[in-house]
Amino acid sequence: MTADSRRSKRGFTYTVTEEQVRHYMAVPAEAKLNWLADTNDFLSKALTGRRREIWQKFRRGEI
């Protein structure tokens, strides 16, 4: 098993339609940035200790 094939079995995939991409492109940059800041604030408060460690490993593709 190669490193690439192992990596492909971790994390998750997410597919969007062209319509969804076009809709997102129409959202103003400020609204996207506000959403990102709000989400970051929420995750900082909601994920503590062990859950944050697991989340970070998931994001890095380690699990």
11 Rama class: left (phi>0) / alpha (psi -120 to 50) / beta: left
Domain count, the chain: 1
pLDDT reported for residue 58:
84
The Cα 31–Cα 38 span in angstroms is 10
pLDDT reported for residue 36:
95
| Domain contains 50 | yes
| Domain contains 34 | yes
| Domain contains 59 | yes
- Checking if the pLDDT of 17 tops 90, the result is yes
The Cα 23–Cα 12 span in angstroms is 23
> Whose CA is closest to 3, among 61, 55, 59, 54?
61
25-50 pLDDT, tens digit each:
999 999 999 999 999 899 888 888 89
**Do 47 and 41 meet the contact criterion of CB atoms below 8 Å apart?**
no
What residues make up the domain containing 43?
28-63
| Domain contains 11 | no
Q: What is the DSSP letter of 1?
A: -
| Domain contains 35 | yes
